[in-house]
Amino acid sequence: MRAAVELIMDTGRRPEEIADLAFDCLTHDGDGLPVLLYDNHKANRLARRLPVSSTTADLIIAQQAWVQGRFPDTPVCDLKLLPTDRRNPDGHKSLTAFSVAFHHRSWMSAMPVLHTNDGFELDKSRAVLYAYRHAYAQRHADAGVGIDVLRELMDHRKLDTTSGYYQVGQQRRRDAVEKIAAMQFDRHGDRFWHQAEELLDSEQARRAIGEVVVPFGVCTEPSNVQADGHACPYRFRCVGCDHFRTDVSYLPDLNAHLADLLRNREKLLATQDLDDWARDEALPSQTEITRIRRLISKVEACLDLFTPTQRTEVEQAVTLLRRHRTVSLGMPQIRQPQPDIRLERP
């Protein structure tokens, strides 16, 4: 049972995946590093490979030796790494996830009162086996592992699934915000050097309670903030509004928006299907394009003043802040019509 719990902690696999491990679940890659073989039954993906540490490999090797000593007459191909002790004279049957969870709960209940790093008493009822899968993801995220790599480690198909398993650590977020706070820009591309400390505190508060994000920055207009970014009274003309501000972490979004404006402008100028007034109404403003170009150039000019080391630190901070940024465009959408089949049903 202890080996099962330790493997769940170390590998972040689901309890049923660890409980059902075959005896020969440990192999090595081309560089001779240990790899765990397991079956992802939930997604019907068999023979998955997970790189593990040498400590985890030693734990598996010790468990294999113990199992062979207990069932010396059973062929290795028929053994389980974690055999149950109930009605299992030959070692063919593995533990169940339920039995591992039961013993884990007994172990947790027998512990003294536990406290978090903040001094609060830990609710031990939350320390379930599946929580170690989230802890595995959190450890790797705190170590700077990219979400695309972490998705492979978690054996997920979608990045959105992986992002739900961890949060950016508060200290790492604080460090990132400290690097970005002094690089705030208004709509004219002017920096807020004299407000850096105030911005730092407000950034922490804003990230704690949620933020109103527009396509390439942050909006502070009261009515739009109250509506969670969906009620801009100025029709989302951000670069012409004093309530808009941005920072270096939004530079990719600014470049993407500029490319969209230029692409849409060329498309509208080339079309023959619109009346002149409709084309003029839909055509992106040349003033807006010029403003965004100037804003981008000022942000990039600011980055060019940094040394290579400073620029690397800023880029790492930007990556951290963008990892969990939820962008709400706030643009109006057209509601899809409901089908007229059995409308009387709720």
**Same domain for 175 and 267:** yes
CB burial of 131-164 (b: ≥16 within 10 Å; e: otherwise) equals: ebbebbbbebbeeeeebeebbebbbbeeeeebbe
Q: CA 183 from chain center: how many Å?
A: 24
**Same domain for 319 and 207:** yes
Look at residue 241 and tell me if it is in a domain: yes
**Same domain for 47 and 192:** no
Q: What is the pLDDT of residue 328?
A: 39
- Profile the chain (346 residues) by mean pLDDT over runs of 10 residues: 96 96 94 94 92 94 96 94 94 95 94 86 90 91 81 91 75 57 63 50 48 74 77 79 81 86 88 84 86 88 80 76 51 41 46
**Same domain for 217 and 184:** yes
**Same domain for 151 and 39:** no
**Same domain for 195 and 158:** no
Asked which of 90, 115, 140 is the last residue of a domain, the reply is 115
Please provide the DSSP assignment of 11-58 as one string.
H---HHHHHT-BTT-EEE-TTS-EEEEEEETTTTEEEEEEE--HHHHH
Instruction: Give 220-276 pLDDT, tens digit per residue.
Output: 788 877 777 777 887 778 888 888 878 788 888 888 888 888 998 888 888 888 888
Look at residue 123 and tell me if it is in a domain: no
Q: What is the pLDDT of residue 196?
A: 46
Q: Domain of 56? A: 2-115
**Rounded to whole angstroms, how far apart are CA atoms 320 and 166?**
13
**Same domain for 136 and 89:** no
**Rounded to whole angstroms, how far apart are CA atoms 101 and 111?**
16
Q: Any residues with CB less than 8 A from the CB of 213 and at least 6 apart, and which?
A: 219, 229, 325, 326, 327, 328
**Rounded to whole angstroms, how far apart are CA atoms 39 and 61?**
19
Asked which of 115, 139, 158 is the last residue of a domain, the reply is 115
The CATH number of the domain holding residue 61 is 1.10.443.10
Look at residue 339 and tell me if it is in a domain: no
**Same domain for 191 and 219:** yes
Q: Taking the complete model, does pTM exceed 0.75, yes or no?
A: no
Asked which of 115, 150, 184 is the last residue of a domain, the reply is 115
**Same domain for 147 and 83:** no
Q: What is the pLDDT of residue 191?
A: 60
**Same domain for 174 and 100:** no
**Same domain for 186 and 276:** yes
Instruction: Give 93-134 pLDDT, tens digit per residue.
Output: 999 999 999 999 999 999 999 988 778 888 888 889 999 999
Task: Output the six-digit token pair for 101.
Answer: 């969870």
Look at residue 345 and tell me if it is in a domain: no
Tally of domains within the chain: 3
Look at residue 337 and tell me if it is in a domain: no
Look at residue 334 and tell me if it is in a domain: no
**Same domain for 268 and 183:** yes
